[in-house]
Amino acid sequence: MDMQSDKLNSVIMEIFNGNAILFVGAGFSKGAVGFDDDIPTAERLAEIILKLMNRSTDSKNPKDLAHISDYFINSFCKQNESKLDEFIAMMKRTFKVTEPKKYHLDIVSVPWKFIYTTNYDDVIEQSGRAIKKMVEPLDLECEIPKYDNKTTYCLHINGRIENLKKDSLDNSFKLTHSSYLSSDGFGSQYPEWKSHFTNDLVYNSTVAIFIGYSLYDIEIEKILQQNSSIKDKVIFIQPQKSIEQENDIDDYKYKKYGHLFKIGVEEFVNKLMKYKNSLNEDTQHFISNNITCFKKYNLVFDKNTNINIDDRKIRNFFVRGALEDAILQKETISNINNSLYLVNRKSYIDEALKILENHNFLFVLGDMGNGKTVFLKQLATIIVQKGFKVYFLTNRRNISTYKKEIETISNNVTNTTYVFIDSYTNFSNLISDILPKQYKNIKYVLSSREREHHKYINNCSIINKIPELFIDKLDSSNIEQFCTIINNLAAWDLMGRGKQIQINRIHNRCKGEISNILIDIFESEQMSSRIKESFANFLQKPTIRKHLFVVCLLNVMNIPISIALIEYILDDYDLEIFRGDVFDYLVKIDILDEGNEIKPKSAVFCQFVLKHIFGADYVIKESLQLLKSLSNKRDSNILYGSDGYKVKTNLFKFNFIESILPEKGKREKLREYYENIKIDMPKMVDRSQYWLQYAMCFIAYDAIEDFKEAQRYLDAAYNVSSNKEDNRYVYKIDNQQARLYVKQSVKENDYKKAFDYFKKADTKLSRQKNDRYKFKVLRDYLNCIEQHREFFVKDESMAKEICSICNKHLKLINNDIDIDFDSYSRRGQAKSALEKIIHIFSGDSK
């Protein structure tokens, strides 16, 4: 079998796995019959229009459809208005299909992810009706639909014949030269659809089939040209030609962008149907062993093979988060406590294995940069070593593909198999689907940043009963190990100061967390100067600088960085920027194997770059510009649109903007940012969320002089919410109001006024359900009590009321869960703080 045949067979398999999109041009509709006759070619339609004008169809009149229709509609019909009505009636008789060919029916019967067409006719829809398959027609004026397993969507890029009217002829219905000139297809008029197509083409499919398409539309060709890396999955089906008709120039325009098969649509359909008929009933809708989203995790470490581990690889691991699986597996399996390369985290691994013995789900939680991804691989290594299979979700697809593949894994294993999903909140549709189900022999390990996890579980009651493992903190043996690793790399400023001083630094300044240790290393003079030198050259180029800024921004946000998302955010992009030496220091691109994503190496490193390489002025200016740009876009419900919405939301949030600014001058820059939001986007003042975020700029810093300003903006947030009769965000305002009262209580010199502030805070907080935001304020109760301890203890009435308040919250916390929780969680911290307060008043202070 030759390479062409091999390629076509693999393409057909992908199509039947539901991983392909279809794009059809005029050549596809050939043979279909309308009310008057066969669907005409562009040249034949031009002749029909010439006849409407009583013009000759000989060689004196060129057969250029765009220009002829332009003249007909915008010049001839101005003096002959009745001709326009005649033309529209003729077009509907011509392009409304009454008899599609069998190969039209066959090709529509295939499980396409999405169908795109530049044709006006309804051959796709009529073929669907004929085989009782739901095909929903769309045009660029339609909202982008959510993916639906029961519906196939067909987008008519140049307009639908059903919607042809006088006022659509020169805009949404692309027929005339003027209508093409006034619009760039998807482009500026319909950026959401352009991003949708780009997303489907380069990101949400493994194969893109173009049938009967001539690359006439410059916008489509431009998208193919900009995404040349996906050339291997683009397939052009064109008519078979005789030797005399062969034309290398014609072939070249297709081969620039993909594989060309000159077999004709009928022969292509014959091959599709031959493959379909070869499938038995059990595999008709899915090929059981072909997994594209989930990747089996295999042990590549061999004890008999020497693995070269040098300082460069370990330094890359620290800075970029990149470590070879063989090294990670060797260090994990060997369980070396004095390793110079990797912290073993055995206590967490043992705890995870214990939980998984009795549960089918486990959440692994931690803040940004605290080693969740590496921990998952360490845990997976031990599980595979024990003889079980592990699959990682590696590619982002739609929900139907995920579900099919999990079912496939479940149906093809006899022993317990583990599915790992890193950053699970990026796959929320999948999680909400699998949680209620118990797939045979499947256990799940799901990781997330704690903030994102708790935001998600607030909307999903089932999750509250799933065990959580918090891995933020290093234990004492891990801290000693970390000191050894850092010293071996000569990576910080405590070299030669003694191990105990180094351990104290990690315990106290770094709070025993990997992310803080890394930040401490990056900010050391030695490492900081080295990083700044690496970035110096290409930051001088504005385009590269902007691309780098967006990549760092998205990575810190924990949003997968697809090519389509980059375009959605920047409106334009240059994929070549991410290749070669320029970005090799920071990112990698693996277009075909890793879901077509740009993959920065380390979120902590990206955060450092934003804070210390770009500088506060650039971060504020560019963040404002992006927020304003994204606020002007219509949000879409599909994958990239959801991510685009997340970007906009994060750029609006105090907590995120605060996290990417350097400490020096941060307070002033935050206030400048929110002041400029209301200047650049005046409508924001009508949103309670704006005033809440602005208030947080004054609450965050414990300055008494800021408390009045904070209260003023919280009052504004309450007023806007009340006036709009919108109570969705009142609980968030209440939470910050309680936080402000607690801070005021701590700063108040008069203990009676301090107690009043404390009670006000509790009144607000008692209205709230148990979540991480409530727990954070409850944890701070201890600061308030400790500050005025001497007076509160002596006042029996106050002491009794404080204990009553604390016992009330402890009861709610203890009754709210069915399983043990880690003491490092916000819930655990709140419980510990409340218990300490009670001990203070019981005379059993600890």
- How many other C-beta atoms lie within 10 A of the C-beta of residue 242? 6
| pLDDT higher than threshold 50 for residue 1 | no
The reported pLDDT for the residue numbered 7 is: 83
| pLDDT higher than threshold 50 for residue 819 | no
pLDDT digits (tens, 9 = 90+) for 643-663: 888 899 999 999 999 999 999
Q: Does domain 3-38+98-279 have CATH number 3.30.70.920?
A: no
The reported pLDDT for the residue numbered 180 is: 39
The reported pLDDT for the residue numbered 89 is: 83
| pLDDT higher than threshold 60 for residue 207 | yes
Q: What is the DSSP letter of 321?
A: -
- How many other C-beta atoms lie within 10 A of the C-beta of residue 22? 24
Sorting pLDDT into bands at 50, 70 and 90, what band is 73?
A: confident
pLDDT digits (tens, 9 = 90+) for 5-62: 778 888 888 888 777 899 998 888 887 776 566 777 777 788 888 888 888 777 665 6
All structural domains of the chain with their residue ranges: 3-38+98-279, 294-472, 499-529, 531-686, 731-846
pLDDT digits (tens, 9 = 90+) for 95-113: 788 888 899 999 999 989 8
Looking at 89-93, 402-406, 636-640, 735-739, which range is the least confident one?
Answer: 636-640
Tell me which residue of 171, 193, 194 sits closest to 182, measured CA to CA: 171
| pLDDT higher than threshold 90 for residue 668 | yes
Sorting pLDDT into bands at 50, 70 and 90, what band is 176?
A: very low
- Sequence-distant (6+) residues with CB within 8 A of 81 are none
Q: What is the average pLDDT across 329-347?
A: 75
The reported pLDDT for the residue numbered 845 is: 45
Sorting pLDDT into bands at 50, 70 and 90, what band is 283?
A: very low
CA–CA dist 292, 113 (Å, integer): 15
| pLDDT higher than threshold 90 for residue 753 | yes
Its sign, for the CA torsion 583, 588, 591, 596, is negative
Q: What is the average pLDDT across 756-770?
A: 92
DSSP string, 663-695: STTHHHHHHHHHHHHHHH-GGGGG-HHHHHHHH
CA–CA dist 470, 364 (Å, integer): 6
Q: What is the average pLDDT across 221-249?
A: 80
pLDDT digits (tens, 9 = 90+) for 159-170: 888 877 776 665
Strand partners, 421: 446
DSSP string, 155-209: EETT--GGG--GGGTTTTS--SHHHHHT--TTTTT-HHHHHHHHHHHHTS-SEEE
The reported pLDDT for the residue numbered 289 is: 46
The answer to whether the CB of 611 falls within 8 A of the CB of 660 is yes
Looking at 226-240, 293-307, 569-583, 691-705, which range is the least confident one?
Answer: 569-583
Question: Both tokens of residue 825?
Answer: 């969680």
CATH homologous superfamily of 294-472: P-loop containing nucleotide triphosphate hydrolases (3.40.50.300)
Tell me which residue of 243, 188, 477 sits closest to 347, measured CA to CA: 477
Measured torsion, CA atoms of residues 349, 352, 358, 361, in degrees rounded to the nearest 10: -140
* CA angle, residues 46, 119, 78, in degrees to nearest 5: 45
The reported pLDDT for the residue numbered 183 is: 44
Question: Both tokens of residue 491?
Answer: 């990576």
Q: Strands 597-600 and 587-589, how do they pair?
A: antiparallel
For the stretch 757-760, contacts whose Cβ atoms lie closer than 8 Å and that sit 24 or more positions apart, written own/partner, are: 757/784, 758/784, 758/785, 758/802, 759/801
- Residue 387: burial class (beta carbons within 10 Å; 0-12, 13-18, 19+): exposed
Q: Which residue has the higher pLDDT, 592 or 426?
A: 426
Buried b (16+ CB within 10 A) or exposed e, 421-441: bbbbbbbebbbeebbeeebeb
Q: What is the average pLDDT across 239-248?
A: 71
The reported pLDDT for the residue numbered 383 is: 92
Measured torsion, CA atoms of residues 249, 254, 258, 261, in degrees rounded to the nearest 10: -90
pLDDT above 90 covers a percentage of the chain that reads 32
CA–CA dist 115, 107 (Å, integer): 11
For the stretch 837-842, contacts whose Cβ atoms lie closer than 8 Å and that sit 24 or more positions apart, written own/partner, are: 837/781, 837/782, 837/785, 837/802, 837/803, 837/806, 838/803, 838/806, 838/807, 838/810, 840/785, 840/786, 840/789, 840/793, 841/792, 841/793, 841/799, 841/802, 841/803, 842/803
> Do the domains 3-38+98-279 and 294-472 sit in the same CATH topology, yes or no?
yes
CA–CA dist 368, 422 (Å, integer): 13
Q: Which residue has the higher pLDDT, 812 or 434?
A: 812
- How many other C-beta atoms lie within 10 A of the C-beta of residue 729? 15
Residue 712, helix vs strand vs coil: helix
C-alpha 278: how far from chain center: 38
Question: Both tokens of residue 510?
Answer: 């770094």
Q: State the average pLDDT for the chain.
A: 81
| pLDDT higher than threshold 50 for residue 573 | yes
Looking at 34-48, 375-389, 533-547, 754-768, which range is the least confident one?
Answer: 34-48
Measured torsion, CA atoms of residues 620, 626, 630, 632, in degrees rounded to the nearest 10: 90
Q: What is the average pLDDT across 236-245?
A: 77
- Sequence-distant (6+) residues with CB within 8 A of 764 are 734, 735, 737, 738, 741
CA–CA dist 335, 840 (Å, integer): 43
| pLDDT higher than threshold 70 for residue 133 | yes
Looking at 118-127, 183-192, 394-403, which range is the least confident one?
Answer: 183-192
The separation between the first and the last C-alpha atoms of the chain, rounded to the nearest angstrom, is 78
Q: What is the average pLDDT across 664-690?
A: 93
